[in-house]
Amino acid sequence: MDQTWSKADLHIHTDYSDGTASVREVLAHVASCTDLRVIAITDHNTIAGALEARRLATAYGVEVIVGEEVSTAEGHLLALFVEEELPPRRPAAETIAAVHAQGGLCIAAHPYDWCMPSLGRAGLRQRCAGPGCEWPLDAIESFNASVWLPRFNSAAAAAGERLGLPLIGGSDAHHPATIGLGYTLFPGQTAADLRYAIRMRVTRPGGSYWRWMHGLEYVGLWLRARAARALTPSAP
């Protein structure tokens, strides 16, 4: 494998779910304002934005992984390298099996965040331990830039180390200013290299946290987008 280390952000939302930026705005920001080589679009319970991003990615010089943040019955799960949308509200075990059936990877998103539905609060350590476990995860998001308290990430990292799972990082970006704040370092340059690095457990999470101004900016953008949608006439 190429020993050049590259940077990926594996947790980005667009306006296909609760993000405020369009797919084109996300790609333009990544291309002009970051050093990311690979990104994953992980909108809530849809892959429509990720598929659009992948179609457009070449023009922006970035590689896009099709992903989805699935709202399972026990908490949020990042599904990466998928081609078919995963429905929400199913048991995590069923969703993980469905992701693996289409060749994707499953990552516990912000697993110990008290503010979000998270797998860590539903017994991740017990249900993901040992051969033949109930939740055969492929990695744990041990750095999420959006969590309010660093100890949430520390708990995720400790769980990943105990379970022998790879650790990844993501921004959980909902507007452009936060894209790339959380990231995953991996040897290589492509999405295929990243996938291999996760399999080999050689990824390195890192980054910096959202600042209070990022949260305020996101809320303002979200409220403006909501107001604009309310004023837009519905199609007949």
- Taking only the tens place, the pLDDT of each residue in 187-204 is 999 999 999 999 999 999
Using the predicted structure, report yes or no on whether residue 131 has a pLDDT greater than 50: yes
The predicted-structure confidence for 138-189, as pLDDT tens digits, reads as follows 999 999 999 999 999 999 999 999 999 999 999 999 999 999 999 999 999 9
Give the DSSP letter of residue 173. Answer: B
Q: What is the pTM of this model?
A: 0.92
Using the predicted structure, report yes or no on whether residue 233 has a pLDDT greater than 60: yes
Using the predicted structure, report yes or no on whether residue 226 has a pLDDT greater than 80: no
The Cα 71–Cα 86 span in angstroms is 9
Mean pLDDT of the chain: 93
Residue 142, both tokens: 């041990």
H-type alpha helices, the chain:
23-33, 48-56, 92-101, 124-127, 150-163, 191-200, 212-231
Angle (CA) 230 174 188, round 5°: 145
In terms of phi and psi (left: phi > 0; alpha: psi -120 to 50; beta: otherwise), the region of 74 is alpha
Would you place residue 94 in the very low, low, confident or very high pLDDT band (cuts 50, 70, 90)? very high
Residue 66, both tokens: 């099709």
Q: Who's near 69: CB < 8 A, 6+ residues apart?
A: 11, 13, 17, 42, 43, 44, 45, 76, 77, 78, 79, 109
Instruction: Give the pLDDT score at 215.
Output: 61
Using the predicted structure, report yes or no on whether residue 39 has a pLDDT greater than 60: yes
Using the predicted structure, report yes or no on whether residue 216 has a pLDDT greater than 80: no
Instruction: Give the pLDDT score at 2.
Output: 46
The Cα 77–Cα 96 span in angstroms is 8
Instruction: Give the pLDDT score at 12.
Output: 98
Residue that the structure tokens 């249900």 belong to: 127
Q: What percent of the chain has pLDDT over 70?
A: 93
Superfamily the domain 5-231 falls into: Metal-dependent hydrolases (3.20.20.140)
Residue 72, both tokens: 């399972």
Instruction: Give the pLDDT score at 224.
Output: 75
68 has which bridge partners? 79
- Return the SS3 of 224: helix
Please report, to the nearest 10 degrees, the dihedral formed by the alpha carbons of residues 177, 78, 28, 210 taken in order: 10
Using the predicted structure, report yes or no on whether residue 1 has a pLDDT greater than 60: no
Q: Are 196 and 1 in contact (CB under 8 A)?
A: yes
Nearest of 18, 73, 36 to residue 225 by alpha carbon: 18
Domain residue spans in the chain? 5-231
Count H helices, E strands: the chain? Answer: 7, 9
Instruction: Give the pLDDT score at 235.
Output: 45
The Cα 193–Cα 203 span in angstroms is 10
